[in-house]
Amino acid sequence: MDDIVRQAIAKWPNVPDCHGWLALDARGNWYMRDDQAQAAGPFAAPDATGSLVSRGSLLVHEKLIDFIARNYASDARGQWFFQNGPQRVYVELQATPLIWRIDPAPGFAVRSHTGQSAQVQRCIVDEQGRVYLQTDLGFGLVHTLDTMHAADAVEQGLWQPEELPAGDLPNRFGYVRSPQSLQEQ
């Protein structure tokens, strides 16, 4: 966490949390969700035509994305958030809290969408063939562009995939896809 963020928390300790305004897609992209995007529906749910109109605006400002990445963490309930100064901004997840990028053979180095290197502990495949990794940093989905590298690691015997249903993953690995929905309950 940035020092300036720690200082802001100390100076203003009782700033209310924010829900529904920030989201992470299955490719590691951040989205800002204004009132209109939130009114269109949940972040991860497509509408009747298959469009994701509720996504909001893709963030492209590199310094903002880096700031979010440095201050991205989870709470004791498995809700992921961006600590924006004194305010905790909870993140809606399309898939998982981390999105993994994998280098090609021979190294198969793994790093998160936030740029942190990770050590693979476990490989999971769901009923749709999506690949997930449990690492020393946490649980996440392998980026679609890197599934071939994951397959190569499996073929070389480096990772032994286990099959688990996608619906079981949040409870099993302790993350909440929609902190906003918990607020509404």
Note the pLDDT tens digit of each residue in 37-55: 888 887 866 555 555 667 8
35 and 59 inside one domain: yes
Q: Which residues contact 99 (CB under 8 A, 6 or more apart)?
A: 24, 26, 27, 28, 112, 113, 140, 141, 142, 143
Can you give the residue range of the structural domain that contains 124?
98-173
113 and 65 inside one domain? no
Both 128 and 48 in a single domain?
no
β-strand pairing of 110-112 with 98-102: antiparallel
Q: Same structural domain for residues 83 and 104?
A: no
92 strand-pairing partners: 23
Same domain, 136 and 91: no
Contact 175, 80 (CB under 8 A): yes
Residues 36 and 50 in one domain: yes
pLDDT tens per residue across span 116-146: 999 999 999 999 999 999 999 999 999 999 9
Do 134 and 124 form a contact (C-beta atoms < 8 A)?
yes
What is the per-residue pLDDT across 159-171, written as a single tens digit (0 to 9) for each? 999 999 999 999 9
Q: Domain check: are 76 and 116 in the same one?
A: no
Same domain, 151 and 165: yes
Overall number of domains in the chain: 2
Supply the CATH number for residue 84's domain.
3.10.540
